Amino acid sequence: MNWRAELIQASAFFYKIGLITRKRVFHVFEILFWPAIGLVSVGLLTRYLQLGPDKVAFILIGVIALSVLQVGQLDISYVILYSVWNKSLKHEIASPMTPFHLVFGGWIMGIIHSLVVFFLLSAFSVWAFGFRFLGSGPSALLLFYLGLVLSSAVIGVAVITLAFRFGGRAHVGATSIVSVLILLSGIYYPVSVLPQPLQVLSACIPVTYFLEFFRSHYGFEPTSTHLLLKGYLLVFFYLAVSIGGLLQAIRHAKKSGVLLKMSE
């Protein structure tokens, strides 16, 4: 395999997302503005409720993790969604690309954007709310962040799979999947407060384990052991399943004529 050629093809989608970011102001808003608004509003709520430092840490960890997930998956999703909206999808599929190039190029840009958001929100949380998000140590922080960006890749691949099935309406998946994670993975509260059936579903979500792992460095008792092992096994399993689903969706779109209907 010619890795240089593979990276050049993947960089085309990286460059595409870079152009979208530069030319479309609302995409910059999605990357920077809304995560900042989310952190400020939730942070002020913790101050109004007069929560202790431990509860503030618990909630702000969830808010920043949610921002990383949301921003990281957007760039993967928009690689295809913009092509669907612009009716140019068949031209990209006809090019010498593979789903790997598409996903990898968008994911790398998503990592860059989410890393910017991650550090900006972390710095702001120190200044505004006295919470040191970087106080857990570099190794824990790296493992936590890597788990989040891998989870964002799963979401992004799921959204573009839906795009090949349902066209531009798949953008709903970009928000609805994250909303399910907010409900089930303990972003704002421990999963122990959920009804038992929902706790079972929560145990199937990698983000649940990454959050518990990171919060354990701030004094919160985890509900299970081997958190990182469980989280990474789940996220790699879902990533393999989602890529398999994407390949199947592309084949279906070609055979059924959906691909031509979404293009000009």
What pLDDT score was predicted for residue 254?
Answer: 74
What pLDDT score was predicted for residue 229?
Answer: 94
The tally of domains found in the chain comes to: 1
What pLDDT score was predicted for residue 83?
Answer: 67
Domain of residue 158 covers: 3-261
What pLDDT score was predicted for residue 228?
Answer: 93
3-state helix, strand, coil in the chain (%, to 5): 85, 0, 15
What's at 118, amino acid-wise? F
- Please tell me the distance from the alpha carbon of residue 58 to that of residue 211, in angstroms, as a whole number: 9
pTM: 0.86
pLDDT digits (tens, 9 = 90+) for 57-102: 899 999 999 989 988 888 787 777 766 666 666 666 666 677 777 7
Q: Which residues of the chain have pLDDT under 50?
A: none
pLDDT digits (tens, 9 = 90+) for 154-173: 998 888 888 777 765 656 66
